[in-house]
Amino acid sequence: MERRSVLLEYGEALLVALVLALYARTFVVQAFKIPSSSMERTLLVGDHIFVNKFIYGDTVFAFERVLLPVREIRRGDVIVFKYPGRPDLDYIKRVIGIGGDEIYGVEGVVYVNHRPLVEPYAVHRHAEWGFAVRDTFAAKDQPVRVPAGHYFVMGDNRDNSEDSRYWGTVPAYMVKGRAFLIYWSFEPPASDYYSPHRNRTSLDAVLDFLSVFNPLRTRWSRMFRVIH
């Protein structure tokens, strides 16, 4: 009888731990792997990040926003969201404009409400021989107007990013959270660069985990880096 009681206690503790883990993953924090180079140099292929799913959460009472670490989405936030064209895919980009903003770009300079945006994080790989076509979008007299409750997002790697310049804005309900920490980073195999959105298998997850023991592939300097 005593042994059965102990087993029940362990089973109860395990069940509670599982519920808490599922709750945390659903409502608080979730881990993601960077699959493409669209956010270089801020985020590299092979970076593993934590996403805060709580920060943009809804609140019922006004005092909750005073006591709890929640806030609205701001320009400059790096967010994870469901890709509007395929909601089964998660994308990560930087918020450039919020509802009501007017946005256009001229030779690599992004204008928000007719003021140039200071972007120390932006990368223009073709700038040395002239700005690419994608570096100029919309127009001063016909800017993109961000609807209320939507966000205009762009990748930091401006010459290699599929973003709001091509498929439009992101509605608030598709935002999953804010990227805030690189907890692990390693140099992935070449196949990850050429197939960033392929379906990952259990074997991929095991290989990712084992690669932490390979000091030649682990990017130690990027671990525990706060994302800005």
Pick the catalytic residue from 38, 161, 164, 185.
38
Q: Is residue 209 part of a domain?
A: yes
- Number of structural domains the chain divides into: 1
Q: Quick check: 202 pLDDT over 90? A: no
Per-residue model confidence (pLDDT) at position 71 = 85
Residue 71, domain CATH: 2.10.109.10
- DSSP string for the chain: -HHHHHHHHHHHHHHHHHHHHHHIIIIIEEEEE--SSTTTTTS-TTEEEEEESSTT---SSHHHHHHSS-----TT-EEEEEETTEEEEEEEEEEEE-TT-EEEEETTEEEETTEEPP-TT-B-TTGGG---GGGSBSBTTBPEEPPTTEEEEE-SBTTS--SHHHH--EEGGGEEEEEEEEEEEB---HHHHH-TTSPP-HHHHHHHHHGGG-TTTB-GGGTTEEP-
Q: Is 54 domain-assigned?
A: yes
209-219 tens-digit pLDDT:
565 556 678 89
Mean of the per-residue pLDDT values for the chain? 80
Domain extent for 169? 31-226
- Render pLDDT for 51-108 as a digit per residue (tens, 0 to 9): 988 888 765 455 545 555 678 999 999 999 999 989 899 999 999 999 999 999 998 8
Indicate whether 20 belongs to any domain: no
Catalytic residue among 33, 37, 53, 93: 93
Residue 2 lies in a domain: no
Query: Does some domain include residue 196?
Result: yes
Predicted confidence at residue 207, as pLDDT, reads 61
Give the predicted TM-score (pTM) of the model.
0.78
- Residue 21 covered by a domain: no
- 93 catalytic? Reply is yes
Residue 84 domain-assigned? yes
Asked if residue 191 has pLDDT above 80, the reply is no
Asked, for residue 144, whether it belongs to a domain, the answer is yes
